[in-house]
Structure 1
Amino acid sequence: MDIDKMDQEIMAQTLRFIQQETSSDADFNEQALALFKYQFTYNRPYQVYCRTKGKTPRIVKHWQDIPAVPINAFKEVTLSCTDAERASATFMTSGTTSGNKGKHYHPQLTVYNLSTLTHFKAAVMGATPSIPMGLLFPTPQALPNSSLAHYLALVSKEFGQQDTRYFINESGLLVDELIAELEVRVAANQPYALLGASFSFVHLFEALAARNQRFVLPKGSKLLDTGGYKNQSSALDTDTFYQQMTYYLGVEPSHCINMFGMTELSSQLYTQGSQTLPATITGPHWIRTRVVNPTTGEEVSEGEPGVLVQIDLANYNSVAAILTEDIGIKKDNGFLFLGRVQGAEAKGCSLALNEFMHSLTSANP
C-alpha cells in the first residue's frame, strides 16, 4: 500500500487512541502492535535492527517485547517512516555531549500537538481554563528546531491569556522586566504561571538573592520547569531547586511541576507537585515506561533501579520504544527519575547502541 495512505491511516488511528479518556492494557497492546507493524514495514533502519534481534510483527505479541532503539541512534541514522525531507517539522537535540544532534522528524504536528495539549490540560491546568503566563525560554522563531520552544508556544497559545509574554531574548533572561512583571502580578492578586527551562529559574533565583527580594505569587499560581538545574555559576540539587521555587516565588509545592520530556518523544510526562522528592513522574495513557537492564533488555526486579525505556504511542513516525539514558525506579503508574546513566548502566547503553549500529552495517556491507 502507498506510504502516504498508510501514514494518514496510522496517524488517524493514533489520534483516535489519544482522544480516548483512558486505555486498558489490552487497548494499549493492540495499538502498540499496530504501530510496531507500521514502523517495522516503513522504517528501514528499524526493520533491520528488529530482524537481527529476531523480532518481527509475526513474532511479537506484546508491547513489552517491541525492540527499543537506543536514544543516541537518533544522532546516527534517520529514523522516519516517511521521507524525512518532506517533514513539516524537525526537532533536534542540543548536541552538547558529542557534537552530533539527534533529529526527530514529524510529517505533520497534528499528533504531537494533540498529545501535548491533551495531557497538559489534564496534568497542569486541571479545571483552570486559562491563566496568564510568563515564558522563560526562546521563541520558536529564535529556535525553530527546538521541541521545547514549540511546546511552550503551543501550550501558551492554547491555555495562556492575551498578556502572556516571553522574558528571554538573544541577550538572555530579561531580569528587570520579569521582576517588574512579578510585582504587577502580585498586586493584581490573580493566579499567574511561569513556564520555562530550569536554568532560567536558577538565573531568576540568583537575581532575587542579589536584590534580597522575594515574592508571594497569588494563590493558584503555577510554576513549570523542565531540564536540569545547572548554569554557568552554580548547580542545584533537586531538593534545593524546589525549595527555592517556594522561597523566592511563594508558590506552594503542589503547584511546582516538573515537565519530563525529550526531543525523541512526542509526549511529555509530569510530576504531580514536589512535596516528596524524588517525585513520581507520570504520563498519559498512551505512554508506558519499562525499567530494564540495558545490556540484556530484560526488566529489573521490582523496586530496583534500571534504565528507562519509554514506549510512546504518539511517536507514530519514528519508533515507539526508546531506550533512554535515564536511570529510574518503577513506581505505581509512573517512575522515579534518579539521573543520567553512569558506570555499568552507561556501558550497557553504549553496547546497545553498538549493537544497533552493527546491525545496520552488517546488513549493508
Structure 2
Amino acid sequence: MNAHHPIFSINSDKAFEEHALAIFKHQSTHCAVYQTYLYHLGIDPAQVKQTADIPYLPIAFFKSHEVIADSRQPEIVFSSSGTTGMAQSRHFVTDVNLYQDSFKLAYQQFYGNIADTCLLALLPSYLERDGSSLIYMVDELIAQSQHPLSGYFLHNHDELFNILKKLQVAKQKTVLIGVTYALLDFIEAHQLHYPELVVMETGGMKGKRKEMVREELHMVLKAGFGVSSIHSEYGMTELLSQAYSYGEGIFNCPPWMKIVLRDTNDPLSLISTTQTGGINVIDLANVNSCSFIATQDLGKKYPDNSFEVLGRFDQADIRGCNLLVQ
C-alpha cells in the first residue's frame, strides 16, 4: 500500500494554505491549459502569495481541453453524463490512488468504517454508461463493505424493498445511495418506516422527472423512507473529492477540499460568506489536473465553512445574469 499523499494529513487552515500554494505553483507551470488561462488573465504566478489571489479555472475547460498537470499517461479517464449532443467533461487521472484515498478517507470521516456497513446503490443512469467516477467510487466501497447484501439495484425495486426490510430487522447499519429520480420511483411503489437507514441522494433528476426544490424533494423522500433527514453527496467528474450533507442540504468538505464563493456578475471577484455566489472549489486531490475550479453551481457559504447548493447557472450565461434555480 502506498503512503497517503501529504494533503490527506492536513489538519489546520495554515497547512491547507501551504499545500494549496505549493500545488498552485506546480499547476501554473505544469498544467498547460491553466498556464495559458493565467497568461490571458495577465496573472504572474510568482505574485500569488495567498490562496485568496489564486484564479479559478472555469469548469467548462474540462469539456474542451485535456486539463492535466502531469507528464504521465492517464490511468483512467472519467467522463460526465452530459445530455445527448452536448460535450462531455473528461477528467484525465494519472494517479488513481489519489482518488481512492480521497473518497475512502472522506467516507470514513463522515460515515465511519465501511466494513461495518451494508451499502446499497440505486444508480441506474450511472450504471448504464461508462466512465462514471461515482460508479468507480461505489464499486470500491461495495468491495470494501464486508456485508454479503451490499450491491447495486437497477430497476429491481421489489428485491431492494425486501432486502431493506431484512436489514432493518437485523439492525444492520445500512446506507442507500441513490440517484434522486430513482429514489422517488422506488418510494412511489414501496413505503418504508426505517428511521435508522441513511438515505443519500446524488445526481438529480437526469431529465427523467420534473426538477423539485430541495425542501419539497427531501420532504417526499423522508416520508417515503420514514427517516428524519436525507443525506446528500456533492461530487462531480472534474473533482476527485466529495462533500457530504447529513441533512437540510448543508454540506461539509473533507480537510483537503474547500469552497469559495465568487461574485455572479464578476467571475474573478470572490465574495464573503452569507451572500449567494458562484461556487468555486479548491480540491487538493486534483493535484495532477487542476485544483482550482469555478463550477456552474450557485451556492451560499456559512461562517463554519459549511455550504448549500442553491441551483445552477444557466449554461448559456455563465456570468450569472440569468440564473436557473433548480
- Shift in Å, 1:127: 6.6
Whether 1:34 and 2:22 are equivalent positions in the alignment is yes
Which residue, 149, 154, 157 being the options, matches 2:140? 154
C-alpha distance in structure 2 between counterparts of 1:268 and 1:160, whole Å: 23
Sequence identity percentage: 28
Give structure 1 stretches of 5+ with no counterpart: 1-10, 209-213, 351-365
**Which aligned pairs between 1:106-117 and structure 2 lie closer than 5 A?**
106-117=93-104
CA contact (8 A) 2:296 2:312 kept: yes
What is the root-mean-square deviation of aligned Cα atoms in Å? 2.6
Whether 1:320 and 2:291 are equivalent positions in the alignment is yes
Comparing 179-188 and 145-154, the one that deviates more:
179-188
Whether 1:74 and 2:48 are equivalent positions in the alignment is no
Q: Please state whether the residue corresponding to 2:220 is helix, strand or coil.
A: helix
1:77-107: CA deviation from partner (whole Å, max 9, x where unpaired):
11112357x2111011112176101110111
Which residue, 162, 165, 168 being the options, matches 1:183? 165
Q: How many residue pairs get matched? A: 318
- Shift in Å, 1:193: 2.0
Cross-structure match for 2:119: 133
Q: Please state whether the residue corresponding to 1:58 is helix, strand or coil.
A: helix
Q: 1:306 to 1:346 in 2, by over 3 A?
A: farther
Whether 1:297 and 2:297 are equivalent positions in the alignment is no
CA contact (8 A) 1:202 1:231 kept: no
- Shift in Å, 1:289: 1.1
Amino acid at match of 1:265: L
Cross-structure match for 2:300: 329
Q: Please state whether the residue corresponding to 1:339 is helix, strand or coil.
A: strand
C-alpha distance in structure 1 between counterparts of 2:76 and 2:310, whole Å: 31
- Shift in Å, 1:191: 3.1
Q: 1:162 to 1:197 in 2, by over 3 A?
A: same
Q: Please state whether the residue corresponding to 2:200 is helix, strand or coil.
A: strand
- Shift in Å, 1:162: 2.5
Amino acid at match of 1:325: Q
1:219-255: CA deviation from partner (whole Å, max 9, x where unpaired):
53211111214653544321222222221222231xx
Whether 1:94 and 2:81 are equivalent positions in the alignment is yes
Cross-structure match for 1:204: 186
**Which aligned pairs between 1:233-252 and structure 2 lie closer than 5 A?**
233-252=209-228
- Shift in Å, 1:296: 4.3
CA contact (8 A) 1:90 1:104 kept: yes
TM-score (norm. length: structure 2): 0.88
- Shift in Å, 1:301: 4.3
Q: Please state whether the residue corresponding to 1:348 is helix, strand or coil.
A: coil
- Shift in Å, 1:138: 5.0
- Shift in Å, 1:190: 2.9
Determine which structure has the larger helix proportion and give its number. Answer: 1
C-alpha distance in structure 2 between counterparts of 1:310 and 1:30, whole Å: 16
Amino acid at match of 2:186: L
Q: 1:296 to 1:103 in 2, by over 3 A?
A: closer
Q: 1:97 to 1:70 in 2, by over 3 A?
A: farther
- Shift in Å, 1:126: 3.3
